[in-house]
Amino acid sequence: MKQKKALIIVDVQNDFCPGGALPVPEGDRVVPVFNRYIELFNAWGLPIYATRDWHPEKTIHFKEFGGPWPPHCLQGTKGAEFHPGLKLPRDTVIISAGDTFEDEGYSAFEGHDEEGKSFIEVLRAAAIEHLFVGGLATDYCVRATVLDALKNGFKVTLLIDAIKGIDVNEGDSRRAIVEMMDKGAGMNTFDEVRSS
């Protein structure tokens, strides 16, 4: 039997794109690619989930409070908005993560929908079994989301043409991709997904 699929767009937010507070090099390049995936999943009648980092001003995630990062994706700010070129359909389900002082929210599985339902509950309620995941950044939120999805028994396909990494240390993104594959993720391009 065919498994029910969903598109997961991880953190394609202004602050992670060039000009933002924590820019992922070429982060905005995933936008036109995602617009094609969005069209495809829409045409298939399959759901689309967009995750977002949604931080308070004070969080252990930020340098000032002992974390590794400059402030980014502050709740309600322009930087936390999705990239304006991303053509999210009206019925996209938004998953917010990292929205308390202690919660860093690298994984979408730490997040919840607008009613407070956890991401895993949302996916189970929709009977989703196979996640197609891309976004920003390969070596942080994409990695954490994919590994949690695998741990929770989902089939995962990494959208290799719709990811960009930060590479704080050279090779981080490459190592993250290898780790995701080792743990059981598949890897596809747009053409492969379309013809699957």
Nearest distance, CB of residue 131 and ligand VGL, angstroms = 16
Question: Residues in contact with ligand VGL, total (CB under 6 A)?
Answer: 9
Q: Which stretch binds ligand VGL (CB under 6 A): 81-89, 124-132, 137-145, 182-190?
A: 137-145
Query: For the window 24-63, what string marks contact with ligand VGL as x by the rule CB under 6 A?
Result: -----------------------------x----------
| 136 is a contact residue toward ligand VGL (CB under 6 A) | yes
Nearest distance, CB of residue 139 and ligand VGL, angstroms = 7
Longest dimension (CA), the chain: 51
Nearest distance, CB of residue 195 and ligand VGL, angstroms = 29
Q: Is 180 exposed, middle or buried (0-12, 13-18, 19+ CB in 10 A)?
A: buried
DSSP letter string, the chain: -PPPEEEEEE--BGGGSTTSSSPPTTGGGHHHHHHHHHHHHHHHT--EEEEEE-B-SS-TTBGGGT-SB---SBTTSGGGSBPTT----TTPEEEEE--SSS----SGGG-B-TTS-BHHHHHHHTT--EEEEEEE-IIIIIHHHHHHHHHTT-EEEEEEEEEE---SSTTHHHHHHHHHHHTT-EEE-HHHHHT-
Q: Is the peptide bond before 185 cis (omega within 30 degrees of 0)?
A: no
Nearest distance, CB of residue 186 and ligand VGL, angstroms = 21
**Residue among 27 and 47 whose Cβ is closer to ligand VGL:** 27
Q: Which stretch binds ligand VGL (CB under 6 A): 29-37, 79-87, 134-142, 154-162?
A: 134-142
Q: Which stretch binds ligand VGL (CB under 6 A): 78-86, 119-127, 135-143, 149-157?
A: 135-143
Binding test (CB under 6 A) with ligand VGL, winner from 141, 147, 158, 180 = 141
| 11 is a contact residue toward ligand VGL (CB under 6 A) | yes
Q: Contact residues for ligand VGL (CB under 6 A)?
A: 11, 16, 22, 53, 69, 136-137, 140-141
